[in-house]
Chains A and B, each alone.
Chain A
Amino acid sequence: MRGEIRQIHPRRGGGSPGDPTPRRLAAIMAADIVGYSRLMNTDEEGTHARLKRILRELVEPTISEHHGRMVKTTGDGFIAIFDSPVEAVRCGIVIQQSMVGRNAALPAQQALLYRIGVNLGDVIMDANDVFGDGVNVAVRLEGIANPGQVYISGGVYEQIKHKLVCGYQSLGDRQVKNITDPVRVYRVLPDPAAFMRAQKRREIAFVVLACIALLAVAAGLWYTMLPGRNLIGAQPSAPAAPASPKPSETAAAIAPTMQPTAPPQAEAPASPDAATPSPATRQPASPPPASPSVKEPEMAKLAGGNFAMGSTDDPSEKPIHQVTIKPFAMSKFPVTVREWNECAAANACEFTALGDENAPVTNVSWSDTKQYLAWLAQVTHKPYRLPSEAEWEYAARGGTQTKYWWGDQLQPGMANCKNCVAVASTAAESPAKVGSFKPNSFGLYDMGGGVDQWVEDCWHRNYQGAPTDGAPWMDGDCVSHVIRSGSWKNDASYVRPSNRDHYDTGVRYPTHGFRIALSP
């Protein structure tokens, strides 16, 4: 209101003499700190100092880098304007992502989180302030935003939807305080993977429920049938029973058994029972039919126990800490191209792998592995998952505490890495077939070298505050996940079982693969 009066009587001396008209179109960013009063209550000076630092080191440079201008700071927030909505939203994303990194090092009660709203509107400029409906809407958007997120109005969305590579989730029309017309609100999902997750959440919930139902029924059925059979063979054969009228299909799918050590093939001892399927088997027929002929990756059972995780060789591997691992199973080999492409053939994995069938699958992102695991869990009715970082290192060490799993000295022929092999193969486009090198004492192949292997954990730059129960470490900066093992392109230091690195969650790279785990 003050602004409008000023517009009618613009004062020549005041304001900025360079701006002839105080009205202009601008992208307005409003931001504030979540729970500022609470933070000030617990640690007034500390909170104030940290907030000042963030403004000075992060917010102000980021705004000017995106060609924006800080209009004013309030106690716990700020308002900035930008010429371009694209730059405004980009700036918002950079601020939020940088805050995640800053908060990672702080205890949870000290974390500062911004809520950010961006709106496009006609505003009245003043030397030290900005006025108009457009500003109010930006402030309201910020008010409804989740901590750590950027909400934008429909107007901004229309301007940026084809220009900025990120996901947008529509939250529909919202009535905001003191604004007559409802405002269309979008949530910005800077990581396209997050967008996919948001979209698929319902779908996944349904599939998970269906899987649980299937699993329960399959377990019941298995109980009633021949006991004493090997677990790997028995479980998939149980749901096979109703499908047995099509034996040709089953045979065709089993045929390519090219792996070094083939697991027992699922034949059809259950087929005599198939003539009289119990009523229970019909229930879970609604989700996509499970293809029972999938050959499961071969698993090695590990007893679990205590081990010292980490090393002093690299800052990221410190501090060395004791971890207790529960019994679990790990796949003997990284997932192969052939295994992956069964998922692709079932249209459950978007990515189709190229290369030798028995080579490890490469060029898969952490998000891609989740598609494979969801599919494998569905067709086998077993909750296959990625190993945790602790489980991976425990398995890679094979009970040793030496630099490499075979000792402290590099030996030729133990791992597929650069300068590790007598016959140089580093120029190769792809890694050696799985199982080309010696297994460790747990019977696991390619734990070090070959392909980098994704694990479940979010990346943390050292083990300060790491869990000690072998569970994946999920909190904090989860825009990147941990990779282990090193690849055929890396040198010997990457083959060490304690070596760790990380990569962006949704991004594919030609040396990245994975192996799978299963809890008993």
Chain B
Amino acid sequence: MKLTRLLMLSAMLATASSFAAFAQGTPAPKDAVLYFIWPLDGATLKGPFWCRFGLRNMGVTHAGDTFPNSGHHHLLIDVNEPLDTNEPIPQDKSHLHFGAGQTETRLELPPGKHTLQLVLGDAKHFPFNPPLVSKKITITVK
């Protein structure tokens, strides 16, 4: 409960301090954290699974909305190329976009090892400055 209140309070404080938010180099709060709620790093999963995205000290919004300190999720599956911060986050079968503000998705991956990583995008799908990315986790699908 205490943790919940603390989180809510810090989220409120974060949204209160405003920045101008535009296409590139949109600033992200220094204490923002992007992480996987589920699955855990190293997990072994059977069949399709829910993947849930966590974001602390920032808000999730619809792509196209320029509210300060908010963005939308992108899930990178088995992506090895480094992130280009001067380009919109690519859109293809290994870069899934959640521009409607979704915070979870059902994933169906072929059996084997896979890496998952989250990248928060601004209104125009550019990474923030500094880029807000999650730890790249490795999972095994049975």
- A residues engaging B (CB < 8 A)? 57-58, 61, 65, 67, 83-84, 94, 97-98, 101, 165, 190-192, 452, 461, 479, 487, 489-490, 494, 501, 503-512
Residues of B within 8 A of A510 (CB): 88, 124-125
Decide if B19 is an interface residue (CB 8 Å cutoff): no
* In-complex Cβ contact of B99 among A83, A84, A504 (8 A): A504
Q: Which residues of B have CB within 8 Å of A506?
A: 62, 100
Indicate whether B31 reaches chain A with its CB closer than 8 angstroms. no
Docked-complex contact B92 and A507, CB < 8 angstroms: no
Chain B residue contacts of A505, Cβ below 8 A: 100
Chain B nearest Cβ from A361, distance in angstroms: 16
A67 to B8, CA, bound (A): 10
Cβ contact of B65, chosen from A65, A97, A165, A487, cutoff 8 A:
A165
Cα–Cα distance between A504 and B102 once the two chains are bound (Å): 10
B55-91 Cβ-contact flags toward A at 8 Å (1 or 0): 0000001111101000000000000000000001011
Is residue B142 contacting chain A, with contact meaning CB distance below 8 A? no
Specify which chain A residues have a CB less than 8 angstroms from the CB of B125 in the assembled complex.
509-510
A-B contact pairs, 6 of them (CB 8 A): A67-B8, A94-B104, A98-B104, A98-B106, A507-B100, A511-B91
Contact in complex: A501, B92 (CB < 8 Å): yes
Supposing A506-B100, A509-B125 touch, asked if A57 and B88 sit within 8 A by C-beta, the answer is no
Q: What's the Cα separation between A98 and B52 when bound, in Å?
A: 12
Closest to A104 in B: B106
Task: Answer whether A507 and B91 are a contact pair too, CB < 8 Å, given A65-B52, A83-B4, A165-B101.
Answer: no
Whether the Cβ atoms of B63 and A165 lie closer than 8 Å is no
| Contact between chains at A97 and B4 (CB < 8 Å) | no
CB contact between A490 and one of B4, B62, B92 (< 8 Å): that residue:
B92
1/0 per position for B99-130, CB-CB distance to A under 8 A? 11111101010000000000000001100000
Contacting pair A507 B97 (CB below 8 A):
yes
Q: Give the CA-CA distance A246 to B4 in the complex, in Å.
A: 67
By the criterion CB–CB under 8 Å, are B8 and A192 in contact? no
The 6 nearest A-B residue pairs measured at CB: A507-B99, A504-B100, A67-B4, A507-B63, A504-B99, A165-B62
Q: Say which residue of B37, B50, B61, B97 sits within 8 Å of A165 (CB atoms).
A: B61
Q: Report the separation of the CA atoms of residues A479 and B50 in the bound assembly, to the nearest whole angstrom.
A: 18
Judging by beta carbons under 8 Å apart, are B64 and A97 in contact? no
Q: Determine whether the beta carbon of B62 is less than 8 Å from that of A509.
A: no
- Tell yes or no: B93 within 8 A of A by CB: yes
Most B Cβ at <10 Å: residue of A489, A494, A504: A504
Contact, CB under 8 Å: A97 / B91: no
Report the nearest A residue to B99, measured CB to CB: A507
Which residues from chain A contact B63 at a C-beta distance below 8 Å? 504, 507-509
A-B contact count (CB 8 A): 66
In the bound assembly, the distance between CA atoms of A406 and B37 in angstroms comes to 46
The answer to whether B37 and A84 have CB atoms under 8 Å apart is: no
Tell me the bound Cα distance from A366 to B107 in angstroms.
24
Alpha-carbon gap, A501 to B52, bound state (A): 22
Give bound CA distance, A494 to B91, whole Å: 11
B67 smallest CB distance to A (angstroms): 8
In Å, the complex CA distance between A512 and B102 comes to 20
Q: How far is the CA of A320 from the CA of B74 in the complex (A)?
A: 30
If the complex has contacts A94-B103, A191-B100, A509-B125, are A501 and B62 also in contact, measured as CB distance less than 8 A? Answer: no
Chain A residues lying within 8 Å of B101, measured Cβ to Cβ, are 165
Of all chain B residues, the one with the shortest Cβ separation from A510 is: B88
**Contact present for A101 and B106 (CB under 8 Å):** yes
Give the distance to chain A from B103, nearest Cβ to Cβ, in Å.
7
Contact partner of B100 among A452, A479, A490, A501, CB < 8 A? Answer: A479
Asked if A494 and B92 sit within 8 Å, CB to CB, the answer is: yes
Q: Which residue of B has the minimal Cβ distance to A57?
A: B50
- Report A-chain residues with C-beta under 8 Å of the C-beta of B103: 94
Contact B97 A84 (CB under 8 A): no
Q: Is the CB of B8 within 8 A of A503?
A: no
How far does the alpha carbon of A509 sit from the alpha carbon of B104 in the complex, in Å? 20
| A503 touches which of B61, B90, B97 (Cβ 8 Å) | B97
From A84, A192, A487, contact of B62 by CB (8 A): A192
Which chain B residue lies CB-closest to A98? B104
Chain B contacts of A489 at CB under 8 A?
Answer: 90-92
Shortest B90–chain A CB gap in Å is 6
Residues in chain A near residue B65, CB distance under 8 A: 165
Q: Are A509 and B88 in contact (CB under 8 A)?
A: yes
How distant is the Cα of A509 from the Cα of B99 in the complex, in angstroms?
A: 9
Question: Residue on A with the closest CB to B124?
Answer: A510
CB-CB under 8 A from B97, the residues of chain A are 503-504, 507, 509
- Known contacts A479-B100, A507-B97; 10 additional CB pairs below 8 A are A65-B52, A83-B4, A84-B8, A165-B62, A165-B67, A461-B108, A487-B91, A504-B99, A507-B63, A508-B64
- Pair A503/B106 contact, Cβ less than 8 Å: no
In the complex, which residues of chain A have a beta carbon less than 8 angstroms from the beta carbon of B61?
A: 165
Which residues of chain B are within 8 angstroms of A504 by Cβ–Cβ distance?
A: 63, 97-100
Contacts of B100 in A (CB 8 A): 190-191, 479, 504-507
Docked-complex contact A97 and B92, CB < 8 angstroms: no
Q: Given the complex of chains A and B, what is the CA–CA distance between A190 and B102 in angstroms?
A: 10
Q: Report the minimum CB–CB distance from A409 to chain B (whole Å).
A: 22
B93, A507: Cβ atoms closer than 8 Å? no
Q: How far is the CA of A510 from the CA of B125 in the complex (A)?
A: 9
A264 and B88 CA atoms in complex are apart in Å by: 40
Task: Give the shortest distance, in Å, between B29 (CB) and chain A (any CB).
Answer: 17
A65 and B37 in contact (CB under 8 A), knowing A94-B103, A506-B100?
A: yes
A504 CA to B99 CA, complexed, in Å:
7
Q: Which residues of B contact A98 (CB under 8 A)?
A: 104, 106
Residue of A nearest to B54 (CB): A65
A192 to B64, CA, bound (A): 12
- Which residues of the partner chain B approach A101 to less than 8 Å between Cβ atoms? 106
Give A489 to B84 CA distance when docked, in angstroms: 13
- The chain B residue sitting closest to A501, CB to CB, is B93
User: Chain B residues near A511 (CB, 8 Å)?
Assistant: 91
